[in-house]
């Protein structure tokens, strides 16, 4: 079997508030192999976003402690310099934040975001970066990519903003894509389109993904394996089929019974 692209080992991330410590991620371990999609589900506050932020090294503020280890392609993040992190974040790991707008600076157009990211991370001139940016917007099914290049994030609808965030992340051709609630606040048609798009990107580019959601039905359409989180811990992790057909934890069973029926194929 190939080496994991990502290995999370007994990870703990805590927030220190004035009165107490919140154990947002409390001993999480998993391996993610190339071209695999891991779905992480769990109720609000179970630690999913904290886990996602830890994977891109955004937990270094004084209010959080992180213990355990994360290996990206066999290299411990503990050995990473700030320059390593910058390269890792853009070039190797793409992230779509829970709120797609959070991926953007409101004073810059969508085009400026993608072009600047390409100029920083790839050896190309501004004209090629612009062409590449338009292609990235086309790739995620954005209508009128030339026009979208000129738009500010607040001028886009929720679904368009999700697509633009995906285009920004994909423009640097990352090996690993982390999508935190990629379809939150989208209508059902836009949700299905994003699921289709993520599946296509995986097939086309051999992407490895971590998809985070509170929606088991959505995750089941994408993921090879699913981790169920509660109170900062992984209650159970198994193949998608196993989770859907014979879950071992009561919380997973209750998620399944509250889910509308759907066809996984
Ligand atoms: N910056 C912060 N300071 C203090 N506590 C925080 C901070 N961010 C998150 N938390 C707490 O950490 C816990 C996990 O939060 P997190 O956002 O990771 O959950 P989540 O599973 O992503 O939830 P949701 O499904 O609502 O997005 C929660 O108890 C939350 O209140
Ligand atoms: Mg979250």
Encode pLDDT of 22-60 as tens digits: 999 999 999 999 999 999 999 999 999 999 999 988 776
Secondary structure of the chain as H, E, C letters: CCCCCEEEEEEEEEEECCCCEEEEEEEEEEEECCCCEEEEEECCCCCHHHHHHHHCCCCCCCCEEEEEEEEECCEEHHHCCHHHHHHHHHHHEEEECCCHHHHCCCCCCHHHHHHHHHHHHCCCCHHHHHHHHHHHHHHCCCCCHHHHHCCCHHHCCHHHHHHHHHHHHHHCCCCEEEEECCCCCCCHHHHHHHHHHHHHHHHHHCCEEEEEECCHHHHHCCCCEEEEEECCEEEEEEEHHHHHHCCCCHHHHHHHHCCCCCCCC
Q: How confident is the model at residue 264 (pLDDT cuts 50, 70, 90)?
A: low
Residue 221 belongs to a domain: yes
Q: Measure 247 CA to ligand 1 centroid, in angstroms.
A: 26
Looking at mean pLDDT, say which of 53-67, 79-93, 109-123 comes out highest. 109-123
Tell me if the pTM is above 0.85.
yes
Q: Please state the atom number of ligand 1 nearest to the C-alpha of residue 51.
A: 18
Name residues with Cβ closer than 5 Å to ligand 2, which is an ion: 48-49, 98
C-alpha 76/C-alpha 69 separation (Å) is: 7
Residue closest via CA to ligand 1's atom 7 equals 15
C-alpha dist (Å) from residue 28 to 180, 202, 214: 17, 25, 18
Residue closest via CA to ligand 1's atom 1 equals 15
C-alpha 230/C-alpha 219 separation (Å) is: 16
Closest-approaching ligand to the CA atom of 50: 1
CATH number at 113 reads 3.40.50.300
Task: Compute φ and ψ for 252, nearest 5 degrees.
Answer: -65, -40
The count of domains in the chain is: 1
Name the residue of 21, 42, 47 to mutate for ligand 1: max ligand atoms within 8 A of Cβ: 47
Residue 112 belongs to a domain: yes
Closest-approaching ligand to the CA atom of 40: 1
Q: Measure 119 CA to ligand 2 centroid, in angstroms.
A: 30
Residue 64 belongs to a domain: yes
Task: Please provide the average confidence, as pLDDT, over all residues in the chain.
Answer: 89
Please write the tens of the pLDDT for every residue from 133-180: 999 999 888 989 999 999 999 999 888 898 899 899 989 889 999 999
Q: Which residues line ligand 1 (CB under 6 A)?
A: 15, 17, 22, 24, 42, 44-50, 98, 214
Instruction: Please give the structure tokens belonging to residue 85.
Output: 């992190």
Residue 153 belongs to a domain: yes
Q: How many CB atoms lie within 10 A of CB 184?
A: 17
Position 97 scores a pLDDT of: 87
Instruction: Please give the structure tokens belonging to residue 141.
Output: 């099914």
- Name the more confident of 121 and 5: 5
Residue closest via CA to ligand 1's atom 18 equals 47
Residue closest via CA to ligand 1's atom 25 equals 44
Residue 263 belongs to a domain: no
Q: Please state the atom number of ligand 1 nearest to the C-alpha of residue 232.
A: 14
Question: How many residues in total does the chain contain?
Answer: 265
**Side by side, which strands form the sheet with 93-96?**
93-96, 176-180, 208-213, 37-42, 225-230, 233-239
Range of the domain at 24: 6-257
Residue closest via CA to ligand 1's atom 24 equals 44
Residue 204 belongs to a domain: yes
Q: How many CB atoms lie within 10 A of CB 220?
A: 20
Residue closest via CA to ligand 1's atom 30 equals 45
Q: Please state the atom number of ligand 1 nearest to the C-alpha of residue 43.
A: 25
Residue 229 belongs to a domain: yes
Residue 1 belongs to a domain: no
């Amino acid at each position: 079997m190939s080496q994991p692209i990502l290995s999370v080992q007994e990870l703990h991330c805590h927030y220190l508030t004035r009165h107490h410590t919140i154990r947002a991620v409390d001993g999480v371990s998993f391996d993610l192999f190339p071209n695999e999609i891991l779905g992480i589900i769990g109720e609000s506050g179970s630690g999913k976003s904290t886990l996602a932020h830890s994977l891109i090294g955004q937990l270094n503020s004084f209010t959080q402690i992180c213990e355990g280890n994360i290996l990206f392609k066999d290299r411990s993040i503990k050995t990473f310099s700030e320059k390593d992190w910058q390269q890792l974040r853009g070039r190797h790991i793409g992230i779509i934040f829970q709120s797609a707008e959070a991926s953007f600076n409101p004073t810059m157009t969508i085009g400026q975001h993608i072009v600047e990211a390409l100029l920083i991370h790839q050896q190309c001139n501004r004209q090629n970066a612009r062409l590449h940016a338009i292609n990235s917007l086309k790739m995620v099914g954005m209508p009128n990519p030339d026009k979208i290049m000129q738009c500010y994030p607040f001028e886009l609808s929720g679904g368009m903003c999700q697509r633009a965030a995906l285009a920004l992340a994909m423009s640097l051709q990352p090996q690993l894509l982390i999508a935190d609630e990629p379809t939150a606040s989208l209508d059902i048609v836009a949700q299905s389109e994003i699921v289709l798009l993520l599946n296509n990107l995986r097939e086309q580019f051999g992407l490895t993904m971590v998809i985070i959601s509170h929606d088991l039905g959505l995750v089941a359409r994408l993921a090879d394996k699913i981790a169920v989180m509660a109170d900062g811990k992984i209650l159970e992790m198994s193949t998608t089929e196993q989770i859907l057909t014979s879950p071992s934890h009561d919380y997973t069973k209750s998620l399944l019974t509250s889910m509308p029926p759907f066809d996984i194929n």
